[in-house]
Amino acid sequence: MRKFISALAPAAILIALLGCTLPATAQSTVQTPQQNPTNPPQPPRTENTLRIVSYNVRNCTGIDNRTDIDRVAEAINRIAPDVVALQELDSMTLRHNKYMAGELAHRTLMHATYAPAIKLGSGGYGVAILSKERPIGVKRIPLPGSEERRMLLVAEFEKYVVLCTHFSLTESDRLTSARIVLDAVAGVDKPVFLAGDMNDENDSEMQKTITERFTVLNDPRQPTIGSDDRAKCIDFIYALDNGVPYSVPERRVLSDEIGSDHKPLWVDVRIAAAEEDIVRTKPWLQNPTNGGVTVTWLTNVPTHSVVEYSTDRQNWRRAQTILDGQIVAGNKIHKVRLAGLDPGTRYYYRTLSREITLYEGYRKEFGRTAISEVYSFRLPTAGQDDFSALVLNDLHKGKPLTDTLMMAARGMEYDFVLLNGDIVDDPKDEAAAVDFLSYLTEKVDAANHPIILLRGNHEIRNAYSLDMRDLLDYPGGKTYGAFNWGDTRFVMLDCGEDKPDSNVEYSGLNDFTQLRLDQVDFLREELASEAFLEAGKRVLIHHIPVYGQGDRFNPGLELWGSQLATAPFDVAIHGHTHRRMYHPRGTVGNNFPLVIGGSNSPRGATVMLLSRQGDELRLKMLSAYGETLHDLVW
């Protein structure tokens, strides 16, 4: 990328030039004015947009000839911009013994960058840029002006460049200035925006010259100066046409403002993300049931996302999510189901995410497309009963613990991963949930090995708990259910929380009664089903143990105990207690062996490998340090 502007000049030099970059601080003694109830705030911006304002403030002197800095600052605060291009500002002149740009910066809590065009006594008169970010570089380029000298102020930011100017009243000067602007931005590959009082209307020769490389973003039909039949648009905001995709979801003029003879105008610009910035997470596979698998990933920006898959890396088929006839697009959480897959066939897949920069009723605009690397998976072959599954529980969002357990499990080969509850505990928001879930899925290589996450009681807690469904795909769409891997039948139960719904911790927001009763019916049907009865092996997965709980709250035993008492499971796998344990059949009232995984600390944590070879079902439990704790065969 071309370095557009050299580093900021030392402050002393800038002050000597009367061009300053002033940070606004919360400690400022100048207070932000209160909102005028007759002038409501402008509409909130679309996500991932840059709001740019251009405003010729005429030294904050309104059409009533009253100089009022607060009034102009209030107009800017109503718009809530990221960048403001200001024209006609004094700095320490006899007529206004103030640094006007700095005064506005204090009131809007922005940084001020000033460029004098004319020297007035010991002060100056020129243009300024207010910005939320401090510029990383500033450049001042003199422009011609027969009646008074003019200036082009250039501020470079991390991801874009803004130019502010006030063109001459003389047509030949404006044409020359337009060419100087074009020369100034030649070869720049960052997004570039030009804003200012151009002293010319949209169909002029100057506009024809400037739009050789720039596109007008505001609506020229909206006047920025004058009234009635004398109203016209001479203030503009442009974007450089240098190959950077962008959209403009909103553009307005505040026609009711009286703080200057000009009206402030603003645009929201959505700059297309770079290809490498589109995707937020690697994909992970989940719900590998009924001849299909779900591919899940997240993007940083709204996209139209699809999955391409094939058996040979060449003849790609495409899958996308369609809901009630509409292709799901403009979202950032993506779940695409690949269905009708052939058993035993290795499939290759990749995700494609095309950014949607504008999604309106009759207009859609797109940015770049991010394509993932190619991953692969295989569902079990028909008649193939052997498998291996990695089993983890009670990680409690522990990244170091996850690293330690996966180090202990190195060398283990597995077909899929069972995450047996309290994995993403107490998810307070999407960021917290995604942060750990994406970390974990990378560690277990879920892009190539499907996961099935069973809800634990800690997944139920905190504000994002209900929204966890956006990230997960439960077999059958419920937090309990059953599925086959080969002819091994897995049955999953979910008893909800580990305390009564009336517990003060839940604030009256839990009621698991019906969920537990529904599983009474589910168990009755499942234990009598052909899939269960004809299975070669049967595994019960449930986060909270049903047996061995003593006098603790245990609705599962109360409601499901009579059915489980005769259910022919080969083993039940649990977590929750933070105490690894093995209960052989009949030792705690159990009709089948129970294995309870360990805690969320390295001292007591465990990782398990459940495998099937022929008629043998085997579970190997390792400590966090790789020590074999149990090696059980049924």
Q: Are 197 and 234 in contact (CB under 8 A)?
A: yes
Q: Give tens-digit pLDDT for 94-104.
A: 787 889 999 99
* Partner residues linked to 355 by β-bridges: 303
Instruction: Compute CA 377 distance to the chain's CA centroid, rounded to the nearest angstrom.
Output: 27
Q: Give CA angle at 337 (331, 340), nearest 5°.
A: 155
DSSP letter, residue 419: E
Is the pLDDT score of 12 beyond 60? Answer: no
Is the pLDDT score of 11 beyond 70? Answer: no
Q: Give tens-digit pLDDT for 536-562.
A: 999 999 999 999 999 899 999 999 999
In 10 A of CB 408, how many CB atoms?
A: 19
Calpha distance 385→380 (Å, rounded): 8
Q: Give tens-digit pLDDT for 45-90.
A: 778 899 999 999 999 999 999 999 999 999 999 999 999 999 999 9
Site of tokens 């085997």: 618
Calpha distance 587→301 (Å, rounded): 54
Instruction: Look up the pTM and report it.
Output: 0.89
The length of the chain, given as a count of residues: 634
Higher pLDDT, 327 or 36: 327
Q: Residue 3: what pLDDT?
A: 54
Q: Residue 492: what pLDDT?
A: 98
Calpha distance 476→451 (Å, rounded): 15
Residue of 483, 485, 462, 459 lying closest to 472 (CA atoms) = 459
Mean pLDDT of the region 367-376: 98
At residue 582, what are phi and psi to the nearest 5 degrees? -130, 125
Calpha distance 243→477 (Å, rounded): 44
Q: Residue 20: what pLDDT?
A: 55
Q: Give CA angle at 414 (410, 416), nearest 5°.
A: 125
Q: What count of Cα atoms within 13 Å lies in the side-chain half-sphere of residue 297?
A: 29
Q: Give tens-digit pLDDT for 574-618.
A: 999 999 999 999 999 999 999 999 999 999 999 999 999 999 999
Residue of 125, 119, 110, 123 lying closest to 57 (CA atoms) = 125
Phi-psi region of 340 (alpha: psi -120 to 50; beta: other; left: phi over 0): left
Q: Residue 21: what pLDDT?
A: 56
DSSP letter, residue 380: P
Q: Residue 591: what pLDDT?
A: 95
Q: How confident is the model at residue 6 (pLDDT cuts 50, 70, 90)?
A: very low
Q: At what angle do helices 399-408 and 430-443 cross, to 10 degrees?
A: 10
Q: Give CA angle at 377 (597, 441), nearest 5°.
A: 45
Q: How confident is the model at residue 40 (pLDDT cuts 50, 70, 90)?
A: low
Q: Give tens-digit pLDDT for 290-316.
A: 999 999 999 999 999 999 999 999 999
Calpha distance 81→369 (Å, rounded): 29
Q: Which ranges constitute the DSSP H helices of 110-228?
A: 171-184, 205-210
Percent of the chain's residues with pLDDT above 90:
88
Which domains does the chain possess?
11-22+48-271 (3.60.10.10), 275-378 (2.60.40.10), 387-633 (3.60.21.10)
Q: Are 368 and 256 in contact (CB under 8 A)?
A: no
| 545: three-class secondary structure by DSSP | coil
Q: What count of Cα atoms within 13 Å lies in the side-chain half-sphere of residue 462?
A: 16
Q: Are 396 and 458 in contact (CB under 8 A)?
A: yes
* CA distances for 538 relative to 407, 490, 516, 607, angstroms: 29, 6, 21, 20
Is the pLDDT score of 508 beyond 50? Answer: yes
Mean pLDDT of the region 272-285: 97
Q: Residue 94: what pLDDT?
A: 73
Calpha distance 389→44 (Å, rounded): 48
Q: Give tens-digit pLDDT for 239-249.
A: 999 999 999 99
Q: Residue 13: what pLDDT?
A: 33
Calpha distance 43→307 (Å, rounded): 36
